[in-house]
């Protein structure tokens, strides 16, 4: 079977869409109060360093996914079960994205539609696009990247034109608030959304220009950080700290307030479309990473055979994970603080250090 490849612009678009995902719609960095926009920028240096670790491991093992070089670096007895831990975590996080999309659509427009129908449509769309292959998915990302940029420009323009922005909700940032911003940035914002780029360790082996992997990834991380910072700054300036922290979907709440000359109103559909696109790409990449690691661990040659089972597991996990949205969010805090850092930071850093030591002392067989 011919190896599928993706180009630099396609990788860039995929990374931006993945980073924005649900992070552009749900509240993040609540610990930093009105300085959430600053927390995102403070997390940026750590995000760049973390991506450089992913990229370095890719350069050392360009044909292997993270499960492949985990076994090579740590040995099969340790590396295989450690790689196996990625599967439930990746699928669970994918199911969380699906759950958030379904809940927003229910609360916004489809209150009479069963959530199972909404989530099923999204899951089957993900299964279909991944069955067509990573090349088709990457070309689709290029198109939707432009759509997301267009939607973002429209939303920002109408919010500013409606006179909703109040900069006093963002400033001043006192010394104590800088400390809160740093505390929120590390590790919470570093892990979500930047650390989730660990999924791309399963996609980078398809990249057709290895020497550009660092440059493309860093550009994507930097741009996504500025986009997220600007978006949450606009939301905070409109809603204020109290409403922002209590809103389930601050972007949706912000856009419902728009009223330009009693003519431009009801732009909720733009936010809903933004969330659908973001969740589609983020969930797809989570599912692809889970399927790719499964194929590597169990020596399955055709990854397409695993796409449907992974998608179905993610679909039903989106219902079984929590009985309601508040419980879902509380579980998310525990998952973000206790489990995801191990997946996104601890294991890659461990692999990076052990590989450097083994190579320095020539301990590879």
Structure tokens, 42:
């403070």
**Cα–Cα distance, 331 to 226 (Å, whole number):** 28
Residues 6+ apart with CB under 8 A from 267: 154, 155, 158, 255, 258
361 CB burial (10 A radius; 0-12, 13-18, 19+): exposed
- The token pair at 90 is 């990746």
Cβ atoms of residues 129 and 283 within 8 Å: no
Contact 1, 304 (CB under 8 A): no
CA separation for the pair 349, 135 (Å, rounded): 29
End-to-end CA distance of the chain: 30
Angle (CA) 307 313 318, round 5°: 125
pLDDT values of the chain reduced to their tens digit, one per residue, 365 residues: 567 899 999 999 999 999 998 888 888 887 788 889 999 999 999 999 999 999 999 999 999 999 999 999 999 999 999 999 999 999 999 999 998 888 888 877 778 888 889 999 999 999 999 999 999 999 999 999 999 999 988 988 899 888 889 988 888 888 888 888 999 999 899 999 999 999 999 999 999 988 899 999 999 999 999 999 999 999 999 999 889 988 888 888 898 888 887 777 778 888 889 989 999 999 999 999 999 999 999 999 889 999 999 999 999 998 887 777 778 778 878 888 888 999 999 999 999 999 999 888 887 65
Give the pLDDT confidence score for residue 52 in this predicted structure: 96
Give Cα separations from 137 to 127, 128, 301 (angstroms): 11, 10, 19
What's the pTM?
0.94
CB 165, CB 238: distance < 8 Å? yes
Nearest to 94 by CA among 349, 292, 310: 310
Token digits of residue 59: 């350069």
Strands (DSSP E) found in 35-113: none
Angle, CA 329 vertex, CA 344 and CA 252 arms, to 5°: 105
Residue 364 is predicted with a pLDDT of: 67
Distance of CA 102 to the CA centre of its chain: 17
């Amino acid at each position: 079977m011919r190896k599928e490849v993706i180009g630099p612009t396609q990788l860039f678009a995929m990374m931006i869409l993945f980073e924005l995902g649900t992070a552009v719609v749900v509240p993040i960095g609540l610990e930093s109060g009105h300085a959430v926009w600053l927390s995102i920028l403070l997390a940026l240096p750590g995000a760049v360093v973390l991506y450089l670790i992913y990229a370095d491991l890719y350069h050392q093992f360009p044909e292997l996914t993270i499960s492949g070089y985990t076994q090579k670096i740590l040995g099969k007895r340790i590396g295989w079960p450690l790689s196996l831990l990625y599967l439930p975590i990746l699928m669970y996080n994918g199911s969380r994205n699906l759950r958030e999309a379904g809940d927003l659509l229910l609360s916004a427009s489809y209150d009479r539609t069963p959530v199972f129908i909404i989530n099923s449509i999204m899951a089957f769309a993900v299964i279909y696009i991944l069955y067509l292959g990573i090349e088709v998915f990457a070309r689709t990302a290029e198109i939707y990247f432009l759509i997301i940029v267009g939607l973002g420009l429209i939303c920002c323009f109408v919010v500013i034109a409606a006179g909703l922005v109040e900069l006093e909700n963002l400033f001043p940032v006192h010394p104590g608030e800088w400390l809160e911003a740093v505390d929120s940035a590390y590790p919470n914002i570093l892990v979500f959304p930047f650390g989730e780029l660990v999924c791309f360790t399963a996609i980078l082996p398809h990249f057709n220009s290895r020497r550009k992997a660092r440059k493309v990834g860093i550009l994507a991380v930097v741009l996504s950080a500025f986009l997220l910072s600007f978006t949450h700054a606009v939301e905070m300036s409109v809603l204020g700290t109290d409403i922002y922290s209590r809103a389930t979907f601050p972007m949706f709440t912000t856009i419902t307030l728009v009223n330009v000359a009693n003519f431009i109103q009801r732009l909720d559909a733009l936010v809903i479309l933004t969330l659908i696109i973001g969740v589609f790409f983020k969930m797809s990449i989570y599912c692809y990473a889970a399927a790719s690691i499964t194929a590597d661990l169990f020596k399955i040659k055709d990854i397409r055979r695993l796409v449907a089972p992974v998608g179905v597991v993610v679909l039903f996990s989106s219902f079984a994970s929590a009985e309601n949205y508040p419980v879902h969010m509380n579980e998310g805090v525990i998952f973000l603080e206790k489990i995801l850092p191990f997946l996104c930071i601890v294991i890659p850093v461990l692999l990076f250090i052990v590989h450097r030591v083994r190579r320095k002392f020539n301990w590879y067989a």
